[in-house]
Structure 1
């Protein structure tokens, strides 16, 4: 079960280190969720990207309980690694998106085909003016495509044009930060993103 492995050209993960980290920090329940993640990724190897996107979205929406950073981490804003989120079994919207993003990059989906998108999400049904800050993952089949939205608030994957409850603010990926669809700055300006990548390297799941 332990060892290093990679899928479709993705950088190898140190699975032995990931298991040790999970066992030490989160115990047997965390280990079970970690193994379920690794098993899901292995099962999706070689399947179509459409199947992978659906499987990854379903997995994270089912595995994590939606919560808030202050309740989970005692911090106002904490970006958890996938291992940390699975260890806790809970996460906020960023944590769902991070888990989905790195699952898909490990399966070989180019990171430039995805963006982590900050939005204002309208809640309370049609006609409501109440909204919350939220994050979703956008998957772009082609650079100019209407992206598919992977969201923990709505379980089904829909095109962005269908999600009239979401108002984009800005987005980013490994190539940069985008405002109104145009690249405005490099992503290394997002300190929490850089801290996240550093934590993942220490856990053995350096995905980029």
Structure 2
């Protein structure tokens, strides 16, 4: 399986040409800006990496999958997300996750977290960052663009979280307990397969 930190190796003239051909010149420029972000914040502290990555992807338009992909639920790769310059909450969280992994943040510090957005009365996905294993996670979100500790996000009710290592049931606002999951998360595995094959 391809690990998220390999995303840094995908930037090449071939990739940029492919993006321009498949989408347009503006899409190519967005992917080039993504590369510049990855290269420019390599030496920064983790909190600065979080801030820069959150800010960069939150500029993309929020649009439901049905309008972008003509599917009820589609998990886009970061390139697809930037190519269309549109996506839903999963796409924001996934792009941030892979970019932060490319920036050297350890996988155990990051979780994609399904939550209930209480004010919107709908399911939602955010990215949670744990500075230490038992610390209160920071939440990177496309609804509230400010990075805040989970206990300040009373508008979100955790359901479960996961990364490449497995699924966790949410427990209060923290990490929760790991769920044994034989088949893996099918949408996650499909996403990883697309990335591995250059999409």
Q: TM-score, normalised by structure 1?
A: 0.87
User: Does 2:39 align with 1:49?
Assistant: no
User: Does 2:136 align with 1:168?
Assistant: no
Residue among 179, 191, 198 paired with 2:193: 198
Aligned residues: 188
CA 1:135–1:48 in 2, change beyond 3 Å: closer, same or farther? same
User: Does 2:138 align with 1:118?
Assistant: no
Q: Which runs of 4+ in 1 moved over 4 A?
A: none
CA contact (8 A) 1:79 1:196 kept: yes
Matches of 1:30 and 1:107, distance apart in 2: 22
If asked which structure has higher relative contact order (CA below 8 Å, sep 6+), I would say 1
SS of structure 2 residue aligned to 1:152: coil
User: Tell me, which stretches of 5 or more residues in structure 1 are unaligned?
Assistant: 1-9, 124-129
Matches of 2:26 and 2:75, distance apart in 1: 21
CA contact (8 A) 2:23 2:83 kept: yes
Q: How far off its partner does 1:201 sit?
A: 1.4
Residue among 30, 36, 40 paired with 1:39: 36
The one-character-per-residue Cα deviations of 1:67-117 (angstroms, maximum 9, x if unpaired) are: 100000000000000000000000100000000000000000011111000
Q: How big is the alpha-carbon RMSD for the aligned residues of Structure 1 and Structure 2?
A: 1.4
What is the match of residue 127 of structure 1?
none
User: Does 2:94 align with 1:98?
Assistant: yes
Matches of 1:98 and 1:187, distance apart in 2: 22
Q: How far off its partner does 1:21 sit?
A: 2.7
- More deviation in 135-144 or 176-185? 176-185
CA contact (8 A) 2:17 2:28 kept: no
